[in-house]
């Protein structure tokens, strides 16, 4: 078998770049992707061999994404030499490759290989045609072809299907502003997890004794299940036979479902959880030959549902023309092909639109990962997508604009014409964030030539973060030697390598109110477009407000695992980002965290809170106190004199218990174990015994409340040991004590007193008693006499939670503490990876969806530059796991009517230019004269400048504007809000648009 494989390789010679095994890439760098795929899929992927033909823009995009993902080996194939044209499509081809006539495959090989040292990347330049022996393909689990004749695709597809098991076949191409993707994974392709979502857990309030039995959700929480899915049960009291059994469900309502006959079961009492069971699903595919005649298409844009079939017919005709210069064969009773589609496809087919290539490359790459892992629902079987909206502008452009000019932008020029290319070159763009989406956007900018104009054009980027190892598997501009270097500067250098003509100005600032001296009004006014590549809503909302104020277009996008969204915001045409709000995240009730956890998420959040309290909050209070009162002697004297010092008793208590050695840190950790996992349970059970009942006679301890069970410490239990070790280490860090990995627990002589009376409940705040004062004085005197209140003793190190540094012990503590609490409450524990995700609020991420959203955003950028009408813009939501892709029109900006035909939108701002002696009355009259309506109220932020019903406000009409309002630093104006009298008495005043008042010196 080994000899046979060598023969295949010799018949189809490959050049190999050996993988560097010295980097812990998968374990330390891919955890965000592991949240998306799971360990099983990651392992399958890391054993897969993939063949990819065609190293144009689409081929290199797919290669980038699947190598970043972590397949075992990739063979890239191409027979073409690098041309100037390729500089605008293949971001790994350099000018030197063109001058030296290198093969596209060889030029890209090293760049692709260095993306992931764990992937073996090989190249082949052997011709692949109808007479080639393709038996070498047997060694691959997946074959991807791009830029290949249709007849050869059919041959390879038939060969792949004939193998046992069948080799997964994917074909993808971009023709100008049109793109297609085809998948064939064989007659029967098993998928173990079709969605990748966490199995749902539903708390139960009742199960009926009936046929069928109806399961009702607790507190009317929706179950979000679908008919035909399966569930199992646990912790059901009464119908004991249900526990551990599996049932297919039928949805009755959003809050109930049926499970079959429960008549003969014992009556339901209380409690219980229904857990969704993921079941395998078989997908059936047809070969390419059959699908060409009767295609199964995914519709992405329901505003033009006929488009996929129209493009399919047009592309098929184009393929047949290219191969034989003959008319297309009869294709049955299909609709007549759209003439515009054929006309523009024939004109642009040789071109390549880089953003569309990026978008399709992201989707195609996800299909490759599905093919080799069996994770997620595969595409069945065609995806056609386009940027046909661009044609509305291009119809006015002369044919000469599309002709090649011998530069790197010829492939783009063939799609959008030279005028749009020039506008892109002269563009000023502000990109906020240089992470995963930011890197992809910069690649797209470089290929489009954004910011390359001689006289005008600049890409300004900013990101305050440094590069971490965990960034490398999706932020493709960064390499291992870039770790701990600034993202923005590194990304700028890498982007210039793609296109030396691009001008980039990198910053290291966060964009927020504190940096408005840097990113001021003049800065935003100088930008043509703002693009966000952020991971939080707060920053998006702030930047949106700045774009709204400066009338700048904004392009926003984001991903979460296989899901992604894009949103285009255009002045005067669309609503802004802040026009709608996502529902707030549900917070876990305090009582649930403190005493009544019911799910793993509760125990993890509790552990995270304990970390913050013990290792961040308390040290912070300790340090602030001793910064206010610099000596223990001074504090002692003040307390003795009867002075009340806020926080003094807690701080003195902390000082008196300060450990002085590593064994004392271990002892302190051991005390915490007893407090958290033994005493707390005993206290709760003392206050609320197991048989406690409520006033209505129902049990206190019933779902979702779980009774706790005290844990007896066992040094030989790995979980107990892990908690002691991690907790002791953190105490050693905050108290600046050297520590070792060895934990010696000689604690037999230490007594752990358990209180079980009512006083264990935390009392309400009461005035400090003289006994507390005496204890504080005694403790502080003792510390001073023992020389344990020195300057060094009055300092602690505050810890900021950091999820990405595995050596700091933060996640170790939270994992151990969370799982011990879960054990105490009989809750399913979580592994370290899940704990890290929840505690660190980590957003799952994968390069495929990142590439897709960046491409879709760049498509909208072209429309903004071209000044397209409202109907041309598209927002998008996709979930590549299902897969589903939905394009929608943007939300049209709403008009607010005032009266008499006067209206405004969120983009409108009225302006008034004042003079030195301009009074408030002059301002009101100026608004009336200029805009035809008289203000009845003037407000600046929360400050009421003029409200007639307020005492003394009428006198303000004579005051100058300079006395009433002051501009902020570096501002030459103030923004005011005006309101107008309603048409009908008794109604509220009508708010108008913002009014920007410029002071007199503006006119000089």
8 A C-beta contact, residue 256 and residue 210: no
Helix (H) or strand (E) holding 231: strand 230-234
Nearest to 357 by CA among 160, 5, 62: 62
Distance CA 473, CA 830 (A): 25
Distance CA 697, CA 693 (A): 5
Phi/psi of residue 390, each to 5°?
-60, -25
8 A C-beta contact, residue 167 and residue 141: yes
**CA neighbours within 13 Å on the CB side: how many for 264?**
2
Distance CA 239, CA 209 (A): 9
Sign of torsion, CA 814 819 820 821? positive
Distance CA 674, CA 810 (A): 20
Q: Which are the contacts of 642, defined by CB distance < 8 A and separation ≥ 6? A: none
Complete DSSP assignment for 372-438: HH-BSPPP-SEEEEE-GGGHHHHTTS-GGGGS--SSTTHHHHHHHHHHHHHHHHT-EEEEE--SHHH
Q: E strands, 573-649, where?
A: none
Please list, residue by residue across 216-227, b when 16 or more beta carbons sit within 10 angstroms of its beta carbon and e when fewer do.
bbbeeeebebee
8 A C-beta contact, residue 111 and residue 62: no
8 A C-beta contact, residue 291 and residue 238: no
Helix (H) or strand (E) holding 165: none
SS3 content of the chain, % helix, strand, coil (to 5): 40, 20, 40
Distance CA 632, CA 788 (A): 10
8 A C-beta contact, residue 177 and residue 353: yes
3-state secondary structure of 816: helix
8 A C-beta contact, residue 204 and residue 247: no
Q: Which are the contacts of 793, defined by CB distance < 8 A and separation ≥ 6? A: 655, 658, 783
Residues in the chain: 1004
Distance of CA 589 to CAs 34, 598, 614, Å?
30, 11, 21
What's the Rg (C-alpha) of the chain?
34
Nearest to 288 by CA among 377, 179, 214, 180: 180
149-158 contacts at long range (C-beta below 8 A, 24 or more positions apart)? 149/319, 149/322, 149/323, 150/292, 150/316, 150/319, 150/320, 150/323, 151/323, 152/128, 153/288, 154/288, 154/289, 155/130, 157/184, 157/287, 157/288, 157/289, 158/287, 158/288, 158/289
Catalytic sites, residue numbers: 591
What is the rounded end-to-end Cα distance, in angstroms, of the chain?
87
CA 379 to mean position of chain CA atoms: 23
Q: Which are the contacts of 132, defined by CB distance < 8 A and separation ≥ 6? A: 126
Q: Which are the contacts of 267, defined by CB distance < 8 A and separation ≥ 6? A: 209, 238, 239
């Amino acid at each position: 078998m080994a000899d046979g494989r060598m023969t295949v390789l010799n018949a189809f010679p490959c050049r190999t770049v050996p993988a560097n095994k010295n980097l812990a890439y998968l374990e330390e760098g891919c955890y965000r992707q592991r949240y998306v795929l799971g360990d099983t899929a990651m392992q399958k992927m890391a054993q897969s061999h993939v063949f990819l033909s065609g190293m144009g823009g689409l081929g290199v995009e797919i290669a980038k994404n699947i190598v970043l993902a972590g397949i075992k080996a990739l063979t890239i194939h191409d027979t073409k030499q690098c041309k100037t044209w390729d500089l605008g499509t293949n971001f790994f081809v350099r000018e030197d490759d063109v001058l030296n006539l290198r093969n596209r495959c060889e030029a890209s090989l090293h760049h692709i290989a260095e993306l992931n040292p764990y992937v073996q990347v090989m190249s082949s330049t052997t011709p692949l045609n109808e007479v080639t022996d393709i038996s070498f393909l047997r060694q691959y689990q997946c074959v991807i072809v791009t830029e290949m004749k249709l007849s050869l695709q059919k041959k390879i597809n038939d060969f792949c299907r004939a193998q046992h098991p069948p080799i997964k076949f994917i074909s993808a191409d971009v023709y100008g502003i049109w793109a297609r993707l085809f998948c064939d994974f064989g007659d029967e392709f098993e998928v173990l997890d079709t969605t990748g979502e966490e199995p749902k857990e539903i708390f139960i309030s009742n199960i009926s004794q009936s046929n069928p039995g109806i399961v009702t959700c607790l507190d009317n929480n929706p179950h979000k299940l679908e008919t035909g899915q399966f569930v199992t049960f646990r912790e059901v009291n009464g119908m004991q036979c249900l526990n551990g059994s599996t049932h297919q469900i039928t949805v009755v309502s959003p809050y109930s479902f049926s499970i079959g006959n429960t008549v003969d079961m014992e009556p339901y009492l209380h409690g219980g959880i229904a857990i969704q069971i993921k079941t395998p699903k078989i997908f059936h595919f047809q070969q390419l030959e059959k699908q060409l005649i009767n295609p199964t298409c995914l519709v992405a844009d329901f505003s033009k549902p006929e488009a996929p079939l129209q493009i399919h017919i047009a592309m098929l005709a184009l393929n047949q023309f290219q191969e034989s210069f003959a008319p297309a064969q009869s294709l049955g009773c299909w609709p007549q092909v759209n003439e515009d589609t054929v006309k523009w496809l024939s004109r642009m087919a040789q071109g390549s639109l880089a953003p569309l290539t990026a978008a399709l490359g992201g989707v195609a790459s996800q299909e490759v990962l599905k093919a080799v892992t069996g994770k997620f629902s595969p595409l069945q079987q065609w995806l056609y997508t386009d940027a046909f909206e661009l044609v509305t502008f291009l119809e006015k452009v002369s044919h000469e604009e599309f002709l090649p000019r011998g530069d790197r932008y010829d492939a783009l020029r063939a799609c959008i014409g030279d005028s749009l290319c020039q506008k892109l070159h002269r563009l000023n763009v502000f990109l906020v964030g240089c992470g995963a989406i930011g890197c992809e956007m910069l690649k797209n900018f470089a290929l489009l030539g954004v910011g390359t104009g001689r006289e005008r054009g600049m890409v300004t980027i900013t990101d305050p973060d440094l590069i971490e190892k965990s960034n490398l598997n999706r932020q493709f501009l960064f390499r291992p030697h870039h770790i701990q270097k600034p993202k923005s500067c590194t990304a700028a250098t890498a982007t210039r390598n793609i296109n030396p003509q691009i001008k980039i100005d990198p910053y290291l600032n966060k964009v927020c109110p504190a940096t408005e001296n840097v990113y001021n009004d003049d800065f935003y006014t100088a930008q043509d477009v703002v693009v966000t590549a952020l991971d939080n809503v707060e920053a998006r909302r702030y930047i949106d407000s700045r774009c709204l104020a400066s009338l700048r277009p904004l392009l926003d996008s984001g991903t979460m695992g296989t899901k992604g969204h894009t949103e285009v915001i255009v002045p005067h045409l669309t609503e802004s980002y802040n026009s709608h709000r996502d529902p707030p995240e549900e917070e876990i009730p305090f009582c649930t965290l403190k005493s009544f956890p019911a799910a793993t998420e509760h125990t993890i959040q509790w552990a995270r809170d304990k970390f913050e309290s013990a290792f961040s909050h308390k040290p912070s209070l300790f340090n602030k106190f001793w910064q206010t009162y610099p000596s223990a002697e001074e504090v002692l004297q003040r307390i003795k004199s009867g002075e009340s010092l806020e926080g003094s008793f807690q701080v003195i208590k902390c000082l008196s218990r300060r450990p002085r050695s590593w064994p004392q840190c271990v002892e302190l950790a051991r005390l915490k174990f007893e407090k958290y996992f033994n005493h707390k349970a005993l206290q709760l059970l003392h206050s609320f015994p197991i048989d406690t009942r409520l006033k209505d006679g129902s049990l206190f301890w019933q779902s979702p409340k779980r009774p706790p069970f005290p844990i007896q410490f066992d040094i030989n239990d790995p979980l107990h040991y892990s908690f002691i070790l991690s907790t002791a280490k953190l105490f050693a860090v905050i108290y600046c004590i050297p520590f070792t990995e060895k934990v010696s627990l000689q604690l037999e002589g230490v007594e752990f007193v358990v209180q079980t009376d009512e006083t264990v409940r935390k009392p309400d705040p009461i005035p400090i008693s003289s006994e507390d004062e005496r204890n504080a004085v005694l403790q502080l005197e003792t510390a001073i006499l023992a020389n344990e209140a020195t300057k060094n003793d009055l300092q602690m190190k505050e810890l900021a939670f950091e999820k990405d540094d595995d050596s700091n012990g933060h996640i170790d503590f939270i994992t151990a503490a969370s799982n011990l609490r879960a054990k105490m409450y009989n809750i399913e524990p979580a592994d370290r990876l899940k704990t890290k995700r929840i505690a660190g609020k980590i957003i799952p991420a994968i390069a495929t969806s990142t590439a897709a959203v960046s491409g879709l955003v760049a498509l909208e950028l072209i429309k903004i530059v071209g000044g397209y009408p409202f109907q041309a813009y598209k927002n998008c939501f996709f979930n590549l796991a299902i897969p589903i892709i939905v394009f929608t029109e943007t939300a049209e900006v709403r008009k607010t009517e005032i009266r008499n035909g006067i209206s405004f939108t969120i983009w409108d701002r009225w302006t008034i230019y004042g003079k030195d002696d301009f009074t408030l009355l002059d301002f009101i009259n100026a608004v009336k004269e200029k805009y035809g309506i008289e203000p009845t109220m003037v407000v600046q932020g929360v400050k009421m400048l003029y409200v007639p019903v307020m005492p003394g406000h009428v006198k303000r009409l004579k005051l100058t504007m300079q006395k009433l309002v002051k501009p902020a630093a570096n501002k030459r104006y103030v923004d005011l809000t005006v309101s107008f009298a309603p048409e009908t008495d008794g109604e509220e005043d009508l708010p108008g648009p913002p009014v920007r008042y410029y002071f007199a010196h503006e006119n000089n």
